[in-house]
Amino acid sequence: MAKEPDAKPAEGTAPVPAPAAPPAADGPSSAPRPQPQGGKQPDPDAPKKKKKPGVPPRRGKKLRAHRRNIAKKVDDAGQVSVKAAVALLKSIKRAKFDETVEIHMNLGIDPTQSDQMVRGTVSLPHGIGKSVRVAVFCQGANVEKAKAAGADIVGGAELVEKVQKENFLDFDIAITTQDMMPQVAKLGKVLGPRGLMPTPKAGTVVPVTGDLAAVVTEFKAGKVEYRSDKTGQIHAGVGKMSFADDKLAENISAFVEAVRGAKPSGVRGNYLNGVVLSATMCPGVRVTV
């Protein structure tokens, strides 16, 4: 068995001193680091916590005060005439771009009844202030007529195939001649959900004896299509903020009268429950009609 080393130093030799403790470092680093609660160290590589979707950042004090002043001004005005509503919208405008003026109408209809659906078109006296892309499904001599009237996209069976297979929807209004309707009917699932399906009620199906060039010209000039939604309301653009007050008022009045004239025969009681004017970045103003 191996002998254990003698703990005592041999005679005549100096004892080996014990290693000295390292000197304490000066400054705050000498203090022990505080441990987070729970004993877990934060991971520097962990992704930062994201904000909740749909929650906008907090607005500044100036913007909040400005919005409160605008809301108070609109509330104090109450229900006003069309001309007064246009003037009020322009006085509270704060966006730097040319905002679209919109009209929202609450109708006293039963949207579950198909015979109470409100749909039609109206030619605004001064247009809507923006270019409209018109696609025309036609063939034969109507192709040149549509192009001469200013249609942006013109085609027959090849255009139907392009929309069906390539999901081509680079247009705002779709017009078709009656002879093309059997082929365009195939596009119901594509155009219908987007509100682009041509229908006789909207004036976008031109009969054989109809004037295709006149229909295209009207829509290019600012003919607006309206349709009640599942809540019984109608929403449409009626011009731009840059329009003169009287021109905007004329557009609004023409739109209201067109919807009033399209009242279904089955509606009882109040038909126009309320009309509100608004702009892209402005609150709604209640209008007397």
186 found inside a domain: yes
| DSSP states along 206-270 | E-TTS-HHHHHHHHHHTEEEEE--TTSEEEEEEEETTS-HHHHHHHHHHHHHHHHHT--TT--S-
139 and 184 fall within a common domain: yes
3 found inside a domain: no
110 and 138 fall within a common domain: no
What is the total count of domains within the chain?
2
**Domain at 163, CATH number:** 3.40.50.790
66 found inside a domain: no
258 found inside a domain: yes
pLDDT value of position 255 = 94
151 and 103 fall within a common domain: no
38 found inside a domain: no
202 and 140 fall within a common domain: yes
135 and 214 fall within a common domain: yes
117 and 226 fall within a common domain: yes
162 and 148 fall within a common domain: yes
4 found inside a domain: no
144 found inside a domain: yes
154 and 279 fall within a common domain: no
121 and 143 fall within a common domain: no
Q: Long-range contact list for 13-21, CB < 8 A, 24+ apart?
A: none
233 and 194 fall within a common domain: no
Of the residues 174, 200, 221, the one at which a domain ends: 221
Residue 183 belongs to domain spanning: 130-221
215 and 165 fall within a common domain: yes
pLDDT value of position 55 = 77
**Domain at 89, CATH number:** 3.30.190.20
226 and 122 fall within a common domain: yes
Of the residues 206, 221, 236, the one at which a domain ends: 221
11 found inside a domain: no
pLDDT truncated to tens, each residue of the chain (289 aa)? 455 555 555 555 555 555 555 555 554 545 555 555 555 666 667 666 667 777 777 778 887 887 888 888 888 888 899 999 999 999 888 888 889 999 999 999 998 888 888 988 888 888 888 788 999 999 989 999 999 999 999 999 999 999 998 889 989 899 999 999 999 999 988 998 888 899 888 889 999 888 999 999 888 887 888 889 989 999 999 999 999 999 999 999 999 999 999 999 888 888 999 999 999 888 889 998 7
